[in-house]
A and B are shown apart, each in its own frame.
Chain A
């Protein structure tokens, strides 16, 4: 399969390595799946458009992206499929948008989840980032609107942030097409396993919950010894999340982990 793609691309007009070819909605035979997550109004759609060459509606108004959009591109001779998830503040609530985003990251098993954040409102956006990192192991953070943050006299130490979160952090200004190259390179590195993420996981300081989470986590580990986000599963069970309950009952939760290991 890999040979086939290289063969195909040798005939492409631009087949040099590290060159981006936007594929628009052509997503056939992709090697990797990328999910784009982020709060509403962070320029997520602009990042999506920059990657795929598509023109999705964007606007300075929360909640613009109404349906899930998909597109594709070729980078370093690999075909990527990009799924633009609905903009959400969180993955915990029960709104349809959040469920779509959550289910795709958990069950759709994207190879990389790119989280687009608004640099001028990092703290608020980190809420979603931390929630995504609870679920997935492979993520890239895109510090979008970095130009605007500078305009507001805000400086962000992206190296430190990357160290703290355990994932690549790329400052970018998607509207000016700045930082897109670095973003692509990071996506590529995480997808191919050249960069191994050590995602930040929220530790055990849920005052009144700790005893329950500990007990449940032990039980989950007994059933699914390979699971590395057992604590998060425990929280979801305590919140009565039916999707997770069903996935535990059918054993699907355990399979998710297995697939990842085969890929690695």
Chain B
């Protein structure tokens, strides 16, 4: 009796999955084509932006599909009026560019969303956005944008195109092009290749941070950033774009961290690192931890982490991974 029930229920589950899979397969085929179109537009925009030529060959390599399939895809794109072909080279039409910018907008908004509102680890933002960008429509993207307060820049420092497709382009230089002794702000961190990007992430380098080049030689760049001295290989440093800070008043004095404050000592906050972002940053600001605030370490917990600080008359406990990024003097 019992065996019959088990076998029957297994059968039902099996049939259910079979049925579901088939529907799923049919759906996937359409989705795949949309994804390919969007990915090619993005690639074409990338080529245009970096002033590189784009051919069917390079596109087929980028999308890892066969030459014939790529040709069919391009034919379709030309038919849709998104792409033109001129002596083997591919170009975006005005409409194609608009479409590409919309996808880029969704991608960058998603990354911003992951950074601000979720606890997804940094190295996964880009990949997740690559998948999700094909699933969102423009209205959904606008909803995300308005919930985030219409952000201008994504967490890698790239400008987010606006709804009407305008995009601000800033002139930056590579970190390796900066001379010794100069101070600069990180503007952009390239999110590909992934290994280098996650290395930069693990070093906690973010757009908006100020750095000073200590020395530079053939292989390495030695930088001072928020009181830390970091040596970067040249190929890593090449993925970081910066902008020199010429006005000395704007150079921040981020040397001593709040975590170095011992119980009973007081100090003045000079600023919050850009490593603190999203809800975390807003909460700290709301609690009154802003430049100029008097802060006193009052209580250490048993394991010395967290520590309770007196800020504007309130005792607030912070973990070390927050007080490491609050700077004092």
B146:A242 contact, CB within 8 angstroms? yes
Residue A123 at the chain B interface, CB threshold 8 Å: yes
Knowing A121-B313, A121-B314 touch, does A89 contact B150 (C-beta < 8 A)?
A: no
A123-B313 Cα distance, complex, nearest whole Å: 8
The minimal Cβ–Cβ distance linking A156 to chain B, given in whole angstroms, is 12
User: Are the CB atoms of B149 and A239 closer together than 8 Å?
Assistant: yes
Known interface pairs A121-B313, A124-B313. Does A94 touch B147 (Cβ–Cβ under 8 Å)?
Answer: yes
* CB–CB A94/B149 < 8 A: yes
State A95–B279 Cα separation when bound (angstroms): 8
18 extra A-B contacts, CB within 8 A, seeds A240-B151, A242-B150: A89-B287, A93-B282, A93-B283, A94-B148, A94-B149, A94-B282, A120-B313, A121-B314, A123-B313, A124-B313, A124-B314, A127-B286, A240-B149, A240-B150, A240-B152, A241-B150, A242-B145, A245-B150
B contacts, CB < 8 Å to A: 145-152, 279, 282-283, 285-288, 311-314
Interface: A122 (CB within 8 A): yes
Question: A residues touching B (Cβ–Cβ < 8 Å)?
Answer: 89-90, 92-95, 120-124, 127, 239-242, 245
Which residues from chain B contact A95 at a C-beta distance below 8 Å? Answer: 279, 282
Across-interface contacts of A239 in B (CB, < 8 A):
149
- A127 touches which one: B148, B150, B283, B288 (CB < 8 A)? B288
A74 to chain B, nearest CB (A): 36
How far is the CB of A184 from the nearest CB of chain B, in Å?
A: 28
Question: Across the interface, which residues of B come within 8 angstroms of A93, CB to CB?
Answer: 282-283, 286
Q: Assess the B313–A122 pair: CB atoms within 8 A.
A: yes
A89 near B286 with CB under 8 A, answer yes
- The answer for the CA separation of A9 and B122 in the assembled complex, in Å, is 64
Closest to A124 in B: B312
| Cα–Cα distance between A63 and B148 once the two chains are bound (Å) | 23
Which residues from B are CB-within-8-Å of A245?
146, 150
Most chain B CB within 10 A, of A92, A241, A242, is at: A242
A189 to chain B, nearest CB (A): 30
| Smallest CB gap from A94: residue in B | B149
Complex: chain B residue closest to A207, CB-CB? B249
| B-side contacts of A120, CB under 8 Å | 313
24 contacts across the A-B interface (CB closer than 8 A) = A89-B286, A89-B287, A90-B286, A93-B283, A94-B147, A94-B149, A94-B282, A95-B282, A121-B312, A121-B313, A122-B313, A123-B313, A124-B287, A124-B288, A124-B313, A127-B288, A240-B149, A240-B150, A240-B151, A240-B152, A242-B145, A242-B149, A245-B146, A245-B150
Task: A240 to B145: give the CA distance in the assembly, Å.
Answer: 9
Q: Select from chain A the residue with minimum beta-carbon distance to B148.
A: A94
**How close is A226's CB to chain B, nearest CB, in angstroms?**
26
The 3 A-B residue pairs whose C-beta atoms are closest, nearest first, are A242-B146, A240-B150, A121-B313
> Closest approach, in angstroms, between the C-beta of B193 and any C-beta of chain A?
32
Residues of B contacting A89 with CB < 8 Å? 286-287
**CB-nearest residue of chain A to B117:** A94
Q: How far is the CB of B109 from chain A (nearest CB, A)?
A: 12
Tell me the complex Cα distance, A95–B149, Å. 11
Q: For the complex, what is the distance from the CA of A68 to the CA of B324, rounded to whole Å?
A: 37
Q: Which of A94, A95, A120, A122 is most buried by chain B, counting CB atoms within 10 A of its CB? A: A94
Chain B nearest Cβ from A22, distance in angstroms: 32
- The residue of chain A having its C-beta at the shortest distance from the C-beta of B290 within the complex is A127
Set of chain A residues within 8 Å of B311, measured between Cβ atoms: 124
Cα distance A94–B145 in the bound complex, in angstroms? 12
**Chain A residues within an 8 Å CB radius of B282:** 93-95
In the assembled complex, the CB of B152 is this many whole angstroms from the nearest CB of chain A, namely: 8
Q: A residues within 8 A CB of B145?
A: 242
Bound CA–CA A90/B313 (angstroms): 17
Complex Cα distance, B172 from A55, in Å, reads 60
Please indicate the chain A residues that have their CB under 8 angstroms from the CB of B152 in the complex. Answer: 240
Chain B residues whose CB sits within 8 angstroms of the CB of A127 once the complex forms: 286, 288
**Chain A hits for B151, CB < 8 A:** 240
